[in-house]
């Protein structure tokens, strides 16, 4: 079993021994965000409250402790928002542990098959109805539009 240190920053990932794997993971996440039309680039205005973002890196392991894949997520630093100024609600639709236990118990009692899955890119909340702007992701600034910002059209992990 080999344990891989998960980078704390984009720079650390790009300077690690696993550079090519982290770069592929970041590129796949970025491409998925673009394909899902998560944002549009717009010129920065002084009146905009522009949030920062960061890359989060994880190594996914198989049940036998071998490396399955390298995963990168772009997350917005939502803690920089001010309630009723940058957003109106705080809510993340996640299943409660108790609910999951009940469902698994029922599946066992009724002898149902249960399958685990991992969604490559989940857009749980869909479109958003407030104006949210963020910096362009590190490593993916569009040439000629380096000062532009991303106007979010869909939610992003925070």
Phi/psi for 106 (5° steps) reads -60, -40
Phi-psi region of 65 (alpha: psi -120 to 50; beta: other; left: phi over 0): left
Contact between 18 and 70 (Cβ < 8 Å): yes
What digits encode the pLDDT tens for the residues 33-43?
A: 999 999 999 99
HSE-CB for 80 with a 13 A CA cutoff: 14
pLDDT at residue 121 greater than cutoff 50: yes
Residue 32: band (very low, low, confident or very high) from pLDDT cuts 50, 70, 90: very high
Q: Which helix (H) or strand (E) holds 60?
A: strand 53-61
pLDDT for 116: 77
The model's pTM is 0.71
Closest to 128 measured CA to CA, from 57, 54, 78: 78
C-alpha torsion sign, points 39, 25, 93, 157 = negative
pLDDT at residue 99 greater than cutoff 80: yes
């Amino acid at each position: 079993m080999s344990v891989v240190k998960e980078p704390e920053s984009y720079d650390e990932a790009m300077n690690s021994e696993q550079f090519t794997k982290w770069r592929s993971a970041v590129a796949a996440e970025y491409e998925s965000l673009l394909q899902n039309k998560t944002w549009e680039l717009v010129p920065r205005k002084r009146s905009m409250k522009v949030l920062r973002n960061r890359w989060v890196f994880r190594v996914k392991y198989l049940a036998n402790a071998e490396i399955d894949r390298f995963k990168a997520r772009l997350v917005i630093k939502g803690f920089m928002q001010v309630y009723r100024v940058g957003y109106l609600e705080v809510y993340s639709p996640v299943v409660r542990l108790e609910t999951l236990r009940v469902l698994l118990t029922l599946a066992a009692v009724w002898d149902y098959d249960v399958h685990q899955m991992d969604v490559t890119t989940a857009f749980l909340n869909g479109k958003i109805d407030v104006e949210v702007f963020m910096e362009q992701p590190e490593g993916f600034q569009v040439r000629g539009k380096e000062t532009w910002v991303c106007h979010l059209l869909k939610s992003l992990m925070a």
